[in-house]
Amino acid sequence: MEPLVIDVKGMHYTPLNKIIREAVASGIKEIVLNNVLGQRFIGNGVRGDAKITINGVPGGDLGMFMSGPECEIFGNAEHAPGNTMDYGSLIIHGSAGDAVAHSMRGGKVFVKGNIGYRGGIHMKEYEGKRPILVVGGTSHAFLGEYMAGGLILVLGIGQEPTIQDRGIGSGIHGGEIVIRGDVNEKLLGVGAKKVEFNEDDLARLTPVIKDFCERFDIDSSQFLDTNYSRIIPASSRPFAGKYTWE
Amino acid sequence: MSLGSVPLKYKISIDRDQCMKCMRCVDNCSYGVYRIEDDKILIDSRKCTACHRCISMCPRDAINLQEKPVDYRSHPLWTAEAREDVINQARTGKIILAGMGNARDYPIIFDRLVLDACQVTNPSIDPLREPMELRTYIGKKPAKLEFTKNNGDVELKTKLAPNLKLDTPIMIGHMSYGAISLNAQLSLAKAVAKTGTFMGTGEGGMHESIYPYQNHTIVQIASGRFGVDINYLERGAAIEIKVGQGAKPGIGGHLPGEKVCSDVSCTRMIPLGSDAISPAPHHDIYSIEDLAQLVRSLKEATNWEKPVFVKIAAVHNVAAIAAGIARSDADAVVVDGFKGGTGAAPKVFRDNVGIPIEAAIAAVDEKLNEQGIRNKVSLIASGGIRNSADITKSIALGADAVYIGTASLIALGCRVCGNCYRGLCPWGIATQKQELVDRIDPEIGSENVANLINAWTLEISELMGAAGLNSIESLRGNRERLRGYMLDQGLLDVLKIESVGA
Inter-chain touch B277–A148, beta carbons under 8 Å: yes
Which residue of chain B comes nearest to A174, CA vs CA? Answer: B274
Q: Amino acid identity of B418?
A: G
| pLDDT tens digits for range B326-368 | 999 999 999 999 999 999 899 999 999 999 999 999 999 999 9
Calculate mean pLDDT across residues B441-453: 98
Rounded to whole angstroms, how far apart are CA atoms B76 and B164? 49
B83 close contact with A: CB closer than 8 A: no
Whether the Cβ atoms of residue A82 and residue A104 lie closer than 8 Å to each other: yes
- B chain contacts of residue A47, beta-carbon cutoff 8 Å: 230
Question: Is the confidence at residue A102, as pLDDT, over 80?
Answer: yes
Average of per-residue pLDDT values in chain A: 96
B50 close contact with A: CB closer than 8 A: no
Residue B462: CB partners within 8 Å, gap ≥ 6? B127
- Nearest CA of chain A to the CA of B92: how many Å? 7
Inter-chain touch A44–B300, beta carbons under 8 Å: yes
For the beta carbon of residue B288, count every other beta carbon within 10 angstroms: 15
- A chain contacts of residue B419, beta-carbon cutoff 8 Å: 245-246
Rounded to whole angstroms, how far apart are CA atoms B26 and B43? 9
Whether the Cβ atoms of residue B347 and residue B97 lie closer than 8 Å to each other: yes
B471 close contact with A: CB closer than 8 A: no
pLDDT at position B26: 97
Calculate mean pLDDT across residues B238-251: 95
pLDDT at position B1: 60
More confident site: A29 or B264: A29
In the 3-class helix/strand/coil scheme, how is B172-208 assigned residue by residue? EEECCECCECHHHHHHHHHHHHHHCCCEECCCCCCCH
Which residue of chain B comes nearest to A85, CA vs CA? Answer: B229
Question: Is the confidence at residue A218, as pLDDT, over 70?
Answer: yes
For the beta carbon of residue A12, count every other beta carbon within 10 angstroms: 10
Question: Is the confidence at residue B271, as pLDDT, over 90?
Answer: no
Question: Is the confidence at residue B79, as pLDDT, over 90?
Answer: yes
Question: Could you say which of B99, B301, B346 has the minimum Cβ distance to residue A65?
Answer: B301
Percentage of residues in chain A with pLDDT exceeding 90?
93
pLDDT at position A235: 83
Question: Is the confidence at residue B280, as pLDDT, over 90?
Answer: no
Strands (E), B56-178: 63-67, 95-98, 113-115, 136-138, 147-150, 153-156, 164-166, 170-174
Calculate mean pLDDT across residues B242-252: 93
For the beta carbon of residue B473, count every other beta carbon within 10 angstroms: 16
Question: Is the confidence at residue A158, as pLDDT, over 80?
Answer: yes
- A chain contacts of residue B287, beta-carbon cutoff 8 Å: none
Question: Is the confidence at residue B244, as pLDDT, over 90?
Answer: yes
Question: Could you say which of A17, A124, A238 has the minimum Cβ distance to residue B300?
Answer: A17
pLDDT at position A1: 79
Question: Is the confidence at residue B262, as pLDDT, over 90?
Answer: no
Whether the Cβ atoms of residue A84 and residue A63 lie closer than 8 Å to each other: no
Calculate mean pLDDT across residues B136-145: 96
For residue B268, name the pLDDT band (cuts at 50, 70, 90).
Answer: confident
For residue A239, name the pLDDT band (cuts at 50, 70, 90).
Answer: confident
For residue A236, name the pLDDT band (cuts at 50, 70, 90).
Answer: confident
Rounded to whole angstroms, how far apart are CA atoms B354 and B149? 51
Please classify residue A186 by burial: count the beta carbons closer than 10 Å to its beta carbon, then call 0-12 exposed, 13-18 middle and 19+ buried: exposed
| pLDDT tens digits for range B283-315 | 889 899 999 999 999 999 999 999 999 999 999
Question: Is the confidence at residue B9, as pLDDT, over 80?
Answer: yes
Residue B306: CB partners within 8 Å, gap ≥ 6? B162, B233, B236, B237, B238, B239, B298, B299
Report the candidate in B479, B103, B300, B436 with the shortest Cα–Cα distance to residue A14. Answer: B300
SS3 at position B424: strand
Inter-chain touch B230–A65, beta carbons under 8 Å: yes
The secondary structure element, H or E, covering residue B366 is helix B357-370
Rounded to whole angstroms, how far apart are CA atoms B161 and B142? 8
Calculate mean pLDDT across residues B51-61: 97
The four Cα atoms B199, B165, B333, B481 give a dihedral, to 10 degrees, of: -110
pLDDT at position A17: 95
Rounded to whole angstroms, how far apart are CA atoms B198 and B243? 20
Inter-chain touch A241–B271, beta carbons under 8 Å: no
Percentage of residues in chain B with pLDDT exceeding 90?
88
For residue B427, name the pLDDT band (cuts at 50, 70, 90).
Answer: very high
Question: Is the confidence at residue B277, as pLDDT, over 90?
Answer: no
- A chain contacts of residue B351, beta-carbon cutoff 8 Å: none
The secondary structure element, H or E, covering residue A90 is strand A87-92
Calculate mean pLDDT across residues B402-411: 98
Rounded to whole angstroms, how far apart are CA atoms B184 and B430? 8
Please provide the distance, in angstroms rounded to a whole number, between the alpha carbons at the two ends of chain A: 65
CA B486 to chain centre: 27
CA B392 to chain centre: 16
Percentage of residues in chain B with pLDDT exceeding 70?
100
Residue B374: CB partners within 8 Å, gap ≥ 6? B365, B368
Q: Give B169's Cβ-side CA count (13 Å radius).
A: 35
- Nearest CA of chain B to the CA of A221: how many Å? 34
Question: Could you say which of B270, B283, B422 has the minimum Cβ distance to residue A118?
Answer: B283
SS3 at position A205: helix
Radius of gyration over every alpha carbon of chain B, rounded to an integer in angstroms: 24
- Nearest CA of chain B to the CA of A217: how many Å? 31
Rounded to whole angstroms, how far apart are CA atoms B107 and B105? 6
B254 close contact with A: CB closer than 8 A: yes
Least confident of B14-18, B105-109, B131-135, B274-278: B274-278
Please name every residue paired with B65 in a beta bridge, in sequence order, or none if there are none.
B12
Phi-psi region of A128 (alpha: psi -120 to 50; beta: other; left: phi over 0): alpha
Residues of chain B numbered 271-300 and touching chain A (CB < 8 Å): 271, 273-275, 277, 279, 283-284, 293, 296-297, 300
Please name every residue paired with B345 in a beta bridge, in sequence order, or none if there are none.
B98
ipTM for the complex?
Answer: 0.94
pLDDT at position B119: 93
- B chain contacts of residue A80, beta-carbon cutoff 8 Å: 284
- B chain contacts of residue A60, beta-carbon cutoff 8 Å: 293
For the beta carbon of residue A32, count every other beta carbon within 10 angstroms: 15
| pLDDT tens digits for range B153-166 | 999 999 999 999 99
User: How many contacts, defined by CB atoms under 8 Å, are there between A and B?
Assistant: 133
pLDDT at position B269: 84
For residue A103, name the pLDDT band (cuts at 50, 70, 90).
Answer: very high
Calculate mean pLDDT across residues B128-132: 94
For residue A109, name the pLDDT band (cuts at 50, 70, 90).
Answer: very high
| pLDDT tens digits for range B104-129 | 999 999 999 999 999 998 899 999 99
- B chain contacts of residue A21, beta-carbon cutoff 8 Å: 303
For residue B21, name the pLDDT band (cuts at 50, 70, 90).
Answer: very high
Calculate mean pLDDT across residues A13-28: 95
Report the candidate in B382, B409, B500 with the shortest Cα–Cα distance to residue B183. Answer: B409
Question: Is the confidence at residue B66, as pLDDT, over 90?
Answer: yes
